[in-house]
Structure 1
Amino acid sequence: MKLTPDIPAPSAILEAALYADNLDAAEQFYSEVLGLERIQCINNRHVFYRIGGSVLLIFNPNQTEQPPLNPDMPVPPHGARGPGHVCLVLSRDEITVMRKHLLDWNIPVDAEFDWPGGARSLYVRDPAGNSIEFAEAHLWS
């Protein structure tokens, strides 16, 4: 239910951001371990990944807190400290495969369970401590 009917409702999340002080470790995790498609990398500032129609942004918070250097792209300073969270969609069978793959990389599972509505979730941590969830798409249905 829209609370304010005269304001347009966004149709999707275009991008989501996580923060990591060590971008090399983050890049190894997201590129090598998870096999995500890297679309941009600026040394020690950020690395971006395409996930379906969305983009996962991994920023070094020390760099994104700085004022923009390019006047043509005046992105305001931003950032976060401490672990964040992102949930990536996989089918139940893919979650099983991902679980084994992550354990093969010695990445411990934080939690794995079925929600009351029946959707399966698997949680792990990236090298920066961000909570990475893999869940079935019907989790929020």
Structure 2
Amino acid sequence: MAAPFEGILETALYVDDLDAAEAFYGSVLGLEKISRAGNRHVFFRCGPGVLLIFNPVETLTPPLPHGTQGPGHMCFRVAAGDLDAWKKKLSEAGIAIESEVIWPSGARSFYFRDPAGNSLECAEARLWNID
């Protein structure tokens, strides 16, 4: 029997404009860029994981088909004490906060969009009972 998964190693989102994505995730959100391959993808480090940003048109062909179409969703793990600072940073960058939620666990989160329309969330880890 296989051991349980240790966690999520990578998350992928799809965008039509890699330059806008690179500026948003690198400059606005402050993620460290790992690499970029032309108009195919740009990869960022995010804590212990990796965020993969792909141009869906470029991922439909071999050697590594990796595509989908339409907006996706991902959630950034944020310390409870840092949620308000992130809302302020995004607001100052002209990014609208779409909604704020207090979940049944008491965890807080909020939602916003990247330039491609992907739904992004910042949440406390206790949302999923993670320490």
User: Equivalents in 2 of 1:58, 1:137: separation in Å?
Assistant: 23
Residue matched to 2:49? 54
User: Equivalents in 1 of 2:81, 2:70: separation in Å?
Assistant: 31
Q: Once the two structures are aligned, what percentage of the paired residues are identical? A: 53
SS at match of 1:12: coil
Name the count of aligned residue pairs: 129
Q: Give the TM-score normalised by the residue count of structure 2.
A: 0.94
Give deviations 1:10-55, integer Å, cap 9, x for gaps: 1111111000010011111100100001111112110101111110
Amino acid of the structure 2 residue aligned with 1:93: G
Aligned partner (choices 85, 89, 94) of residue 82 of structure 2: 94
Amino acid of the structure 2 residue aligned with 1:67: P
Residue matched to 2:62? 67
- Segments of 4+ moved more than 4 angstroms: none
SS at match of 2:81: helix
Q: CA deviation at 1:94?
A: 1.1
RMSD of equivalent CA atoms: 1.0
- Give 1 or 2 for the bigger CA radius of gyration: 1
Unaligned runs of 5+ in 2: none
Residue matched to 1:71? none
Q: CA deviation at 1:57?
A: 0.2
Q: Give the TM-score normalised by the residue count of structure 1.
A: 0.88
